Amino acid sequence: MKKLIECIPNFSEGRDKEKIERIVDEIRKQNGIKLLNYSYDKDHNRSVVTFVGEPEEVIEAAFNSCKKACELIDLRIHKGEHPRMGATDVIPLVPIKNVTMQECIEYSKTLAKRIAEELNIPVFLYEKSAMTPEREDLSNIRKGEFEGMFEKMKKEEWKPDYGQDKPHESAGVTAVGARMPLIAFNINLNTNNIEVAKKIAKAVRGKSGGFKYCKSLAFEIKERNIVQVSMNMVDYTKTPLYRVFQVIENEANRYGVSVIGSEIVGLIPLNAIADIADYFLKLENFNYDQILENQIYGDEL
Amino acid sequence: MKKLIECIPNFSEGRDKEKIERIVDEIRKQNGIKLLNYSYDKDHNRSVVTFVGEPEEVIEAAFNSCKKACELIDLRIHKGEHPRMGATDVIPLVPIKNVTMQECIEYSKTLAKRIAEELNIPVFLYEKSAMTPEREDLSNIRKGEFEGMFEKMKKEEWKPDYGQDKPHESAGVTAVGARMPLIAFNINLNTNNIEVAKKIAKAVRGKSGGFKYCKSLAFEIKERNIVQVSMNMVDYTKTPLYRVFQVIENEANRYGVSVIGSEIVGLIPLNAIADIADYFLKLENFNYDQILENQIYGDEL
What's the per-residue H, E or C state across A204-254?
Answer: HCHHHCCCCCEEEEEEEEHHHCEEEEEEEECCCCCCCHHHHHHHHHHHHHH
How much of chain B exceeds pLDDT 90, in percent? 92
**Which residues of chain B are within 8 Å of residue A37 when distances are taken between CB atoms?**
295
**Which residues of chain B are within 8 Å of residue A276 when distances are taken between CB atoms?**
276-277, 280-281
How confident is the model at residue B301, as a pLDDT? 41
CATH number 3.30.990.10 given to B4-178 = yes
- A261: nearest CA in chain B? B282
The helix (H) or strand (E) run that includes residue B175 is strand B174-178
Q: What is the pLDDT of residues B147-161, one digit of tens each?
A: 999 999 999 999 999
Scan residues 216-255 of B and list those with Cβ closer than 8 Å to A.
241-242, 245
Contact B277 A276 (CB under 8 A): yes
How confident is the model at residue A296, as a pLDDT? 83
Please tell me if residue B184 touches chain A, with a CB cutoff of 8 Å: no
How confident is the model at residue B2, as a pLDDT? 84
| CB nearest to A295's CB, from B245, B267, B300 | B267
Amino acid at A257: V
| CB nearest to B270's CB, from A259, A291, A298 | A291
For residues B206-221, give the mean pLDDT. 94
- B301: nearest CA in chain A? A297
Q: Are strands A88-97 and A174-178 parallel, antiparallel or unpaired?
A: parallel
Please tell me if residue B274 touches chain A, with a CB cutoff of 8 Å: yes
How confident is the model at residue A301, as a pLDDT? 41
Q: Which residues of chain A have pLDDT under 70?
A: 298-301
Contact B6 A292 (CB under 8 A): yes
Closest to A33 measured CA to CA, from A59, A68, A69? A59
d(CA B36, CA B267): 11
Closest to A59 measured CA to CA, from A8, A105, A111, A94? A111
**ipTM of model over 0.85:** no
Q: What is the CATH number of domain A183-268?
A: 3.30.70.670
**Which residues of chain A are within 8 Å of residue B286 when distances are taken between CB atoms?**
263-264
Q: What is the pLDDT of residues A184-226, one digit of tens each?
A: 999 999 999 999 999 999 999 999 999 999 999 999 999 999 9
Mutate: best of B291, B294, B301, partner A, most A CBs <10 A = B291
Q: In the predicted model, is pLDDT for residue B218 greater than 60?
A: yes
Please tell me if residue B264 touches chain A, with a CB cutoff of 8 Å: yes
Reported residue count of chain A is 301
d(CA B190, CA A145): 60
Q: In the predicted model, is pLDDT for residue B76 greater than 70?
A: yes
How confident is the model at residue B298, as a pLDDT? 64
Residues of B labelled as active-site residues: 82
Residues of A labelled as active-site residues: 82
Q: Which residues contact B11 (CB under 8 A, 6 or more apart)?
A: B20, B23, B46, B47, B48, B49, B65, B69, B73, B87, B88, B89
Instruction: Tell me the shortest Cα–Cα distance from A81 to chain B, in angstroms.
Output: 28
Mutate: best of B292, B297, B299, B301, partner A, most A CBs <10 A = B292
Looking at chain A, the domain(s) classified CATH 3.30.990.10 span 4-178
| CB nearest to B290's CB, from A4, A268, A280 | A268
| CB nearest to A270's CB, from B181, B263, B293 | B293
Looking at chain B, the domain(s) classified CATH 3.30.70.670 span 183-268
Please tell me if residue A264 touches chain B, with a CB cutoff of 8 Å: yes
